[in-house]
Chain A
Amino acid sequence: MKKFQLPNNFDYKNTDILKQFITETGKIVPARVTGISASNQRKITKSIKIARFLALLPYTDMHQ
C-alpha cells in the first residue's frame, strides 16, 4: 500500500485523508516527501488550509 493515498475528489471535510499529509506537529508534508504531483499537492494544501480555518485540523500541536 502506498504511504500517501490520494482522494477521489479533493474535499476539505475529509480529515482522515488530509491527516496523512500533515506531520505530528501539524505542518504540511512537503511535496518532495509525499511524491505526489505538483497539481495534487496544491489541491491538498488548499484543502488542509480550509480545514484548519474550520478547526477540523490543528495549525500546530501547541494550541492551548
Chain B
Amino acid sequence: MNNYETILIINPNLSSKVADFQTKFEKLLTDNSFEIKKVEDIGRRQLAYSINNHHKGHYLLYRMQGDPKNISEIETKIKYDEAIIRHLILAVKDLSGEDSVLLTEALESKNKKSESTEESEKVIKKDKKLEKSTEEVSDKEDSKDSPTEVEEE
C-alpha cells in the first residue's frame, strides 16, 4: 500500500458537469482497490499558460491509498479521457488530512469576492454621504461669499 496524490485539470467547459465526472472517477479508483482519503474540488483557476487553447482549468485533488500495480490502469483510463487536459499522480510519504493551500486560496478569493461586492455597496453609500456633506459645505461657502461680494460692490 502506497500513498498517492492525484491532480487532475479538467476542461473548463465541462466545469458544470464535474460532479458526474467525480462519481465516475471515484468509481474507477474504488474498482482498482484504491481507498480515497480526501477529495478536494478546488474549482476553476487561471492557468499560468494555455493548455490546448484553454486559459482556465478546473482543478481536482485526490489523496488516496492503494496498490502501485493498479496505477498504470488508471493512467491509461485518464489518457483516453478527453475531459482531462492534464493529470499528475505523485507518490507521497504521508497523507495529510488538512486542506491544501490551493483550496484555501480558492475559498479565500471566493469570500473576498462576496465581501468586495458588499464593500463596493458600502463605498457607494459613503460617496453619497460625502456628496451630501460637500453640498452642505458649498452652501455655507456661498453664504459666506455673498456678503463679501456685497461689500465689494
Contact = CB atoms under 8 A, between A and B. Distances in A.
* Majority secondary structure, B binding face: strand
A58 B48 contact: yes
Contacts of A53: 86, 88
A53 B7 CA distance: 11
Contact of B101 (A11, A54, A57, A59): A11
Nearest to B46: A55
Given A11-B101, A13-B100, A13-B102, A54 B88 contact: yes
Contacts of B51: 55
A57 B47 CA distance: 8
Nearest to A53: B88
Given A13-B100, A13-B102, A57 B88 contact: no
A53 B57 CA distance: 13
A56 interface: yes
A14 B88 contact: no
A54 B49 contact: no
B90 interface: yes
Interface string A32-64: 000000000000000000101111111100011
Contact of B48 (A11, A14, A16, A57): A57
Interface of B: 7, 9, 47-51, 57, 86, 88, 90, 100-102
